[in-house]
Amino acid sequence: MRYITFALAKGRLAKQTLSLLEKIGITCEEMKDEKTRKLIFANEELGFRFFLSKAADVPTYVELGAADIGVVGKDTILEEGRKLYEVLDLNCGKCRMCVAGPASAKELLNNGSLIRVASKYPGIAKDYFYNKKHQTVEIIKLNGSVELAPIVGLSEVIVDIVETGSTLKENGLEVLEEICPLSARVVVNEVSMKMQHERITKLLKELKKVIPK
Amino acid sequence: MSISGNGAQRRELLHTPGGVRDIYGAECARKKEIEQKVHDVIRSYGFRDIQTPTFEYFDVFNKERGTVQSKEMFKFFDRGNNTLVLRPDVTPPIARCVAKYCRDEQLQIRLCYTGNTFVNTRPYKGKLQEVTQVGAELFNDDTSDADAEMIAVMIQCLKSSGLREFQLEIGHADLFRGLAEEAGFDREKTEELRGLISSKNFFGVEELLDKTKVSGKVREIFAKLPELLGNLPECLAYVRERTENERVLSALDRLEKVWAILGLYGLCDYVTIDFSMLSKYSYYTGVIFRAYTYGNGEALATGGRYDGLVGQFGKEAPAIGLAIVIDQLMVAMERQKLFEKNPFGGCILLYPQAVRKEALLLAEQYRDKGQTVQMLRKSSKKTLEVYREYAKRMDAEKLLYLGEDGKLTSYDIG
């Protein structure tokens, strides 16, 4: 039997995914050992392999066929813009992609002025401002703590993931516009979907039944 | 030891730009061989070779004539400041040729090609920017026989290459167009729907249908789309019961006919029908098909009917084409370990200066018999052992040594 290989985005999402998989009888004991240094884990009986990678790399592994199935946030899928089948919404890790900033920045979003936008997601930010709002902006790519940018004057607004909004609030920022809702998705490689059709659709069907509502 | 400035500079000259690469040695021999095999199959169906330029005017490939976005083409300017592009695809140039050279032909025109295509993708994507395609185009024939034949040609090409496990997926471009039409979608919504269905994002499709308040039987078809594959009669019945859209119905009829003809070819085992199959290329108007195999992440061959393309160059002619990406096929075969060792073979004829004349004659005799012979004059400073090692490195089958006494000794290598 050929392996079906899963690429999972490191962190909370991977744990949630594994517990979902466990509910449909797909387990991976090796992976639960927190101290292990192994990079790839297998369930030989069922013919599954799993590995963890940085979220942004999951679409790459899946597009190029190194993994058959991936589990990753919608934010990453949008940002990476890879050719993938996006087959299932896992309905967890729910949050929103938003434009945020100080309340005073709100009018800058409506008068078409050239503003600076800081984000970890330059692709999403660009698509939103250029193709949806038709506003020319300067995008500044940051790698973390994006909330800092409007506070220290690096940018007027930011584009970032908002879960509860408490980090924004504590720093005197607020959600100005919502770009789209986000959640964890199951993605499948185009060729795997064809060549391993039976096993993958069976798995997806079972998985669909145990997704939290 | 320190590297001299000069040496470092020379080493920099060794690199190729990202996305392109050298193909040499055994790999190159295999590639040529596969190209040849695939091409031979295509030729055996009556296709005639054609060569078009490596670069052409940008407009030939732009908009609905092309398969690649404008920003993914390699562009440059000629002296008259016209925009030129390295061809991203060979089909539009061939359609141009048909409109130009076969204006009055009313019956079938069959053309085939081998050529490199260029796509300017973003760096670090793990994709080649230059690949070799072998393809065939059939013009002036809009029958289901032509559809089935092209699918059969693709299957035979892949079989001839040595690939064993592969699958063809067949769909119809009008299924989607008709359904979107029936749902009453405008252009923007249709494109959104196309994006969702082509990424098999069916929960996204449902959301969109909710938002646009599509209901009734069309909705039932959309909801069932992901499962509409495999069992053709069942799928056909399901959709036919739920629509009266002419586009959809005639697409279904066509698929049914093509399937029946493929049965006559005895090739149904290689084929599955997928109603949700879509092409990102808007120039396809009828049957579309793609081939997949284990070991690489994307389709290795694509094809489809494009009845409107030649018309854009000034001659109305229905057409159907296929293209096999040889580099993708190579990757798949490499990963599936389908290549045999030593594809080059041939022998090396080693001779000292004294018997040059005899050696030349001997080599000619071998070549006349169809043998590959590489001539090599033996240096008196090197031993026979050195040459045997060399023959091994070169993947030669045999080393022939013609001694000064005129005696020929043959050493098997490998």
On whether any CB of chain A is under 8 Å from the CB of B126, the answer is yes
- Whether B2 has a pLDDT exceeding 60, the answer reads no
Parallel/antiparallel/unpaired status of strands A137-141 and B48-49: unpaired
Q: pLDDT tens digit string along A46-93?
A: 999 999 999 999 999 999 999 999 999 999 999 998 889 999 999 888
- Which tokens sit at A82? 């890879």
Per-residue pLDDT tens over the stretch B99-156: 999 999 999 999 999 999 999 987 777 788 999 999 999 999 999 999 999 999 999 9
Query: How high does pLDDT run on average in chain B?
Result: 89
Give the residue from chain B lying closest to A59, CA to CA. B125
Between chains, do A63 and B297 touch, taking CB under 8 Å as contact?
A: yes
Better-scored residue on pLDDT, B394 or A147: A147
Q: Is the pLDDT of residue A205 over 50?
A: yes
Query: Which chain B residue lies closest to A2 (C-alpha atoms)?
Result: B294
Kindly determine whether residue B298 and residue A65, on different chains, have CB atoms separated by under 8 Å.
yes
pLDDT at B1 over 60: no
| Percentage of residues in chain B having pLDDT higher than 90 | 56
pLDDT of residue B8: 66
Q: Is the pLDDT of residue A184 over 80?
A: yes
CB atoms within 10 A of CB B181: 16
Q: How many degrees, rounded to 5, is the angle at CA B69 between CA B64 and CA B74? A: 120
Whether B135 contacts B321, CB under 8 Å = yes
Q: Chain B contacts of A191, Cβ < 8 Å? A: 292-294, 296-299
Question: Looking at residue A155, what is its pLDDT?
Answer: 95
* Ranges in chain B annotated CATH 3.30.930.10: 18-164+294-341
Residue spans of alpha helices (H) in B71-142: 91-101
List Cα–Cα distances, A47 to A2, A3, A6, A199, B64, in angstroms. 7, 5, 11, 10, 44
Residues A20, A30: Cα–Cα separation, whole Å:
17
**Homologous superfamily (CATH) for B347-412:** Anticodon-binding domain (3.40.50.800)
DSSP-assigned letters across all residues of B243-288: ---HHHHHHHHHHHHHHHHHHHHT-GGGEEEBTT---S-TT--SEE
Nearest CA in chain A to B328: A64
Chain A residues near residue B294 by CB distance under 8 angstroms? 2, 191, 195
pLDDT at B3 over 60: no
Q: Which residues of A touch B197 (CB under 8 A)?
A: none
Looking at residue B56, its pLDDT comes to 96
Taking CB atoms and an 8 Å cut-off, how many pairs form between chains A and B?
Answer: 49
Which fold is adopted by the domain B18-164+294-341?
BirA Bifunctional Protein; domain 2 (3.30.930)
List residues of chain A with CB under 8 Å from any CB of chain B: 2, 60, 62-66, 83-89, 188-191, 193-195
Q: Which domains does chain A have, with CATH numbers?
A: 4-93+183-210 (3.40.190.10), 95-180 (3.40.190.10)
The DSSP H or E segment spanning A50 is strand A48-53
Spatial distance between the Cα atoms of B32 and B34, rounded to a whole number of angstroms: 6
pLDDT of residue B227: 78
Statement: residue B174 has pLDDT above 50: yes
Q: In whole angstroms, what is the distance from residue A8 CA to residue A107 CA?
A: 40
Contact A54, A73 (CB under 8 A): no
Contact B292 A191 (CB under 8 A): yes
Q: What is the pLDDT of residue B338?
A: 85
Can you tell me the distance from the alpha carbon of A104 to that of A157, in angstroms, rounded to the nearest whole number? 10
Q: Give the dihedral sign, CA B389/B390/B393/B397.
A: negative
Pairing of strands A184-188, A69-73: antiparallel
Q: CATH 3.40.50.800 region(s) of chain B? A: 347-412
CB environment A84-105: b (16+ within 10 A), e (fewer): bbbbbbbebbebbbbbbbbeeb
| pLDDT tens-digit map of B363-406 | 999 999 999 999 999 998 999 999 999 998 888 889 999 998 88
B201–A85: do the CB atoms touch at under 8 Å? Answer: yes
